[in-house]
Amino acid sequence: MVGLVLVSHIAKLAEGALELGLLMAPEVPAEAAGGTADGGPGTDYEKIAGAVERVSAKADGGVLVIADMGSSRMTAEMVLEDREGCQPEAVIADCPFVEGCVAAAVSAAAGEGLADVRRAAETALGRDCE
């Protein structure tokens, strides 16, 4: 199954988005990696790298990383570049933070592959009210 890592400047935002996403898909391996090392607003490389490694150990289908903006996204990209070549693969999605998380969780729980889970996240916006 594909796993998820949620990266935000705000720890509670990452945890909250993940809580919402996992309501429909509690079996998906996932972790939130929000805030700095001391829990303040910002991004922590080690926190993200640790979350990706732990989730990837439980997610044989790979890991989808969802980041909110700015340093979250850039730092997540650096983490993924630094583990390039490691299996399973981890990729970042270009998606709305909350809706992307929900769509990715549902797609992952359905057993879809990493590319499909990423696509689900990236086309998530407005899906529930079309």
Partner 1 sequence: MTDSAKLIEVLGNVKDAIDANAEYLTDLDAAIGDSDHGINLARGFRKVAEDLPAMAGKDIGAILKKTGMDLVSTVGGSSGPLYGTAFMKAGASAAGKSEINTEDFLNMFSAAIGGVKMRGKSEEGEKTMLDAMGPALRAAEEAAAAGKSAKEMLEAAAEAAAEGAAFTKTIIATKGRAAYLGERSLGHVDPGAASFAVIMKTVAESY
Q: What number of helices (H) and strands (E) belong to the chain? A: 5, 4
- Which of 71, 83, 116, 125 lies at the binding interface for partner 1 (CB under 8 A)? 71
CB of 119 to partner 1, least distance (A): 21
Burial of 97 (0-12, 13-18, 19+ CB in 10 A): buried
Name the packing angle between helices 114-122 and 97-109 (round to 10°). 150
* 8 lies in the site for partner 1, by CB under 8 A: no
CA distance 87 to 37: 26
Name the packing angle between helices 97-109 and 11-23 (round to 10°). 40
CB of 34 to partner 1, least distance (A): 12
- Which of 24, 26, 39, 41 lies at the binding interface for partner 1 (CB under 8 A)? 41
Q: How many C-beta atoms surround the C-beta of residue 30 within 10 A? A: 27
Which of these ranges, 17-25, 35-43, 57-65, 90-98, lies near partner 1 under the rule CB under 8 A? Answer: 35-43
* 22 lies in the site for partner 1, by CB under 8 A: no
Q: 39: which 2 tokens?
A: 């829990």
Determine the size of the site formed for partner 1 (CB under 8 A).
Answer: 16
Does residue 30 sit in helix, strand or coil?
A: strand
CB of 35 to partner 1, least distance (A): 9
* 56 lies in the site for partner 1, by CB under 8 A: no
* 39 lies in the site for partner 1, by CB under 8 A: no
Residues forming contacts to partner 1 in the complex (CB under 8 A) are 36-37, 40-46, 69-71, 74-75, 77-78
